[in-house]
C-alpha cells in the first residue's frame, strides 16, 4: 500500500465491480472503466486509458440500473501499469453530495465483501 493511500484511507474498501464513465481533463475524450473496489471516499479502476497521479477526473458511477449514476469530481491518487496495456489506478472523490454519500454507503453495506 502506498503512503498516500494508507495515510488518508479512513473507510474500508469493498470488492465491487460497477460500471463507470471517466472524463479526464487532459484526455481526448471520456473512457469506460469498471471499478475493482469501492469505498465511501474513492475507488480503484482498471482501464486502457493511461492516467497520471493528481489528474482531475469527473466520473459517473452506476450502482444499479434503477438509480441515477453517482456523479462526482475526483482526483487520481495512484497509478500502476499492468501487463497488456492496462492501467490500474485509484481516485478519491472530492464532492459527493450527502444523498450520494448515503446511497454509496448503503450500496457498500448491503452488497460488498470488505477487503480491509
The four Cα atoms 20, 54, 52, 57 give a dihedral, to 10 degrees, of 30
Q: Where are the domains of the chain?
A: 3-109
Length of the chain: 116
For cell 493528481, name the residue: 54
pLDDT tens profile 27-78 = 777 888 889 999 989 999 988 878 889 999 999 999 888 889 999 999 999 9
pTM here is 0.79
What CATH class has 3-109?
mainly beta
Rg of the Cα atoms in the chain? 13
Amino acid at each position: 500500500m502506498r503512503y498516500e493511500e494508507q495515510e488518508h484511507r479512513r473507510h474500508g474498501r469493498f470488492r465491487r465491480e460497477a460500471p463507470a464513465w471517466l472524463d479526464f481533463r487532459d484526455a481526448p475524450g471520456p473512457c469506460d472503466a469498471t471499478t475493482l473496489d469501492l469505498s465511501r471516499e474513492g475507488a480503484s479502476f482498471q482501464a486502457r486509458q493511461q492516467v497520471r497521479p493528481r489528474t482531475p477526473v469527473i466520473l459517473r458511477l452506476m450502482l444499479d440500473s434503477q438509480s441515477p449514476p453517482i456523479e462526482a469530481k475526483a482526483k487520481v491518487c495512484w497509478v500502476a501499469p499492468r501487463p497488456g496495456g492496462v492501467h490500474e489506478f485509484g481516485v478519491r472523490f472530492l464532492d459527493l453530495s450527502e444523498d450520494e454519500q448515503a446511497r454509496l454507503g448503503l450500496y457498500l453495506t448491503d452488497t460488498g465483501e470488505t477487503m480491509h
